[in-house]
Structure 1
Amino acid sequence: MIETRVPRHAPLVHLLRDGLVEGVHYGSVVVVAPDGTVLFQAGDLDAAFYPRSAAKPIQATAMARLGLELPPELLALSAASHSGEELHLVGAQRILDTAGLTERDLRNPADFPYDPVERDAWVAAGRAPSRLAHNCSGKHSAMLATSARHGWSLTDYMDPAHPLQRAIADTVAELTGQTPAHVAVDGCGTPLFAVSLKGLTTAIGRIAQAPDSVIAPAMRTHPEMVGGSRRDVTRLARAVPGLLAKDGFEAVQVAALPDGTAIGVKISDGSDRARMPVAAAALALAGVDPELLDPFAGTTGLDGLRVVGELENASSLAVIDR
């Protein structure tokens, strides 16, 4: 079920200073069993929302079904929001090379690398924004390669009416079990489908457990391509055996175990400092060894923050103390 309304988020994270609650992050979280049964929920699972880049594994799955054939590391990059490191830029160019295309064929915006270290080095070197450096260039390169494989037009591959985007829309509906409530434009220019948090999480679980999936094993084997060497999503995927993990702008996080047990997180205010602590707590509820998750329970993006409690009540997954 998907409903178009203001989400009814719940308080998930408390920011404490000397025992006093200084701030509260609201959001929603769900743990879904391999058969789609909800094992745990807090907040709103049914309101339409934008999954942002957390939907990329679904888009990549659609392209793989359309016959996109790439080495595993490049399939992982096709589902990435990469940091703009050299391996990512080279990888995106390799995808373009398979179709005889160049950076000029990309229609995503030009940008600086997403990773602050890479961005600072880029700017210090006097380099201009680049379409390859944009964090979505792997996905866009794969979209072009898929379109070229079928002889589809390349200049309008982002148009919702394009055969590629229609196929992606069908895959979104199939894997989420929902007809998107709205179609918007994502930051990189591709169609963005509004689904529910339960629908998105169900889709990720289905990809993770599908025996014929090429995207899930690629993302598991090459998490450095999905994020980057300094990204929490990459560290999480490396820390938990067999985990498929993808983050998205506005504090969206999904992850799934090989059996299809999956978690989904949306932080209402878009704050990344709350995203990973809630994801870590949800993964513990999904059966992951809490010791593997300890480094992430306090990973909030700000120095001096740490998780000091779990499950205060049905709607409180993490308490952060500064």
Structure 2
Amino acid sequence: MPQTFAAADAVELAVVERSGFVESRHAGIAIVLAADGTIAQKLGDPSALVLPRSSLKPLQALACLSAGAPLEGERLGLATASHSGTDRHVAVVRDILSAAQLGEDALGCPTAWPGDTATRDEMVRELGQPQRIRMNCSGKHATMLLTAVVNGWDPAGYLSPEHPLQAHIRDVIERLVGEKVSATAIDGCGAPVYAVTLFGLARAVHRVGNSSTSSPFALHRSAGAMVEAVRANPWTIDGPGRPDTIAIEQLGVFAKGGAEGVMVMVAPDGTTVALKMLDGSGRAATAVALRLLERHGALASADVDTAMSRLPLAVTGGGQDVGAIRPAF
């Protein structure tokens, strides 16, 4: 059975400190690629297989662009998103569905409450119910539906790994990671997700993050446009006050977290980090990625400190801050 790395292949990436006592530790693997794509640092065994989960979304969105999905700006940002379900997010998802001449009932993702607390509270007060369009992957699903429609593919069954849309997405992913996928699984939203090595994931994200809209290659031009769209609209990919959006707003990185403790991040100079926490917790992932980019000179320490102060890293006791979640290095 394909599987991810074992504890023996991991290293300590983060600790949770309470009142001067380290009460928890997060082990995992990570890799840093320099701006030129060479390996700058390995922590643990980055040749291990991982399911990228939502960190795969930029590659899935890029595949949709390469298949002719007419997206730019906020629409393109939402295509890569694990959004928090605010009304602003939902309006853009509806816009993508409208371009496909489809309604919300075409979405194959499960119903969900929005991740944004204020939006959820308002829905509860109004006796609302969970909705597919509020699910954090609805932007990806709307994009997949639009791609199917513009290519004349039947949008029904668009989540099947055998559907022409998913076959195209898998092909593009394999081209970017530089390896064949080792296993196909079903993500939490119902879409296929593919097992690749952490190194392969880092290589793909490095290629995406270092692409230019002036590239002679169409795929790279699309990748450059996608990264520009996210950096120009950081609220789209996550949400106000949430980790990916904070990192993009504060530091100009391209960041995409995934479930089960996965994170990919590209600094403005092209330096790239990919990591996976063995225990599946993502609470330290953004902080670890930022500090690794800082360690390799891609981000200024003062800027990282400012961004870190906005992340939800405080450990509280009695209503007071008594410690913090912090990188172990």
Relative to the length of structure 2, the TM-score reads 0.88
Q: CA deviation at 1:41?
A: 1.7
- Report Cα offsets for 1:98-156 as digits up to 9, x if no partner: 11111011111111112233223222321111111010000000000010001101111
- Report Cα offsets for 1:234-278 as digits up to 9, x if no partner: 01101113x211111112111113443211121221223321221
Q: Match of 2:168, as an amino acid?
A: A
Q: CA deviation at 1:70?
A: 1.9
Residue 313 of structure 1 is matched in structure 2 by none
Residue 291 of structure 2 is matched in structure 1 by 281
Query: Helix, strand or coil for the counterpart of 1:132?
Result: helix
Residue 234 of structure 1 is matched in structure 2 by 245
Instruction: Indicate if the aligned counterparts of 1:4 and 1:181 stay in contact, CA closer than 8 A.
Output: no
Q: Match of 2:137, as an amino acid?
A: C
Query: Helix, strand or coil for the counterpart of 1:273?
Result: coil
Which segment is superposed worse, 184-193 or 17-26?
A: 17-26
- Report Cα offsets for 1:290-320 as digits up to 9, x if no partner: 1111134463444434367x7xxxxx43xxx
Instruction: Indicate if the aligned counterparts of 2:16 and 2:325 stay in contact, CA closer than 8 A.
Output: no
Instruction: Indicate if the aligned counterparts of 2:4 and 2:50 stay in contact, CA closer than 8 A.
Output: no
Q: Match of 1:265, as an amino acid?
A: L
The match for 2:230 among 219, 232, 253 is 219
Which segment is superposed worse, 62-71 or 75-84?
A: 62-71
Q: CA deviation at 1:23?
A: 1.8
Tell whether 2:324 aligns with 1:306. yes
Instruction: Indicate if the aligned counterparts of 1:83 and 1:227 stay in contact, CA closer than 8 A.
Output: yes
Instruction: Indicate if the aligned counterparts of 2:18 and 2:324 stay in contact, CA closer than 8 A.
Output: no
- Report Cα offsets for 1:7-60 as digits up to 9, x if no partner: 421111222344433221111121112343111121220111111101100000
Q: How does 1:1-322 map to 2 (within 5 A)?
A: 4=3, 6-7=5-6, 8-211=9-212, 212=221, 213=223, 214-241=225-252, 243-286=253-296, 287-297=298-308, 299-303=311-315, 304=321, 305-306=323-324, 316-317=328-329
- Report Cα offsets for 1:142-174 as digits up to 9, x if no partner: 000010001101111111111111111011111
Residue 215 of structure 2 is matched in structure 1 by none
Sequence identity (%): 35
Query: Helix, strand or coil for the counterpart of 2:155?
Result: coil
Instruction: Indicate if the aligned counterparts of 1:244 and 1:256 stay in contact, CA closer than 8 A.
Output: yes
Which segment is superposed worse, 32-41 or 174-183?
A: 32-41
Q: Match of 1:6, as an amino acid?
A: F
Which segment is superposed worse, 176-185 or 116-125?
A: 116-125
Q: CA deviation at 1:218?
A: 0.9
Residue 320 of structure 1 is matched in structure 2 by none
Point out 4+ residue stretches in structure 1 off by more than 6 angstroms. Answer: none
Instruction: Indicate if the aligned counterparts of 1:276 and 1:300 stay in contact, CA closer than 8 A.
Output: no
Once residues 14 and 156 of structure 2 are traced to their aligned partners in structure 1, the CA distance between those partners, rounded to angstroms, is: 44
Once residues 91 and 237 of structure 1 are traced to their aligned partners in structure 2, the CA distance between those partners, rounded to angstroms, is: 20
Q: CA deviation at 1:192?
A: 0.6
Once residues 307 and 283 of structure 2 are traced to their aligned partners in structure 1, the CA distance between those partners, rounded to angstroms, is: 11
Once residues 126 and 72 of structure 1 are traced to their aligned partners in structure 2, the CA distance between those partners, rounded to angstroms, is: 33
Q: Which ranges of structure 2 fall in alignment gaps of 5 or more residues?
A: 213-220, 316-320
Query: Helix, strand or coil for the counterpart of 1:195?
Result: strand
Aligned length: 308
Instruction: Indicate if the aligned counterparts of 1:31 and 1:285 stay in contact, CA closer than 8 A.
Output: no
Query: Helix, strand or coil for the counterpart of 1:139?
Result: helix
Structure 1 residues 43 and 142, CA gap change in structure 2 (3 angstroms): same
- Report Cα offsets for 1:73-100 as digits up to 9, x if no partner: 1001000000001111000000011111
Q: Match of 2:70, as an amino acid?
A: E
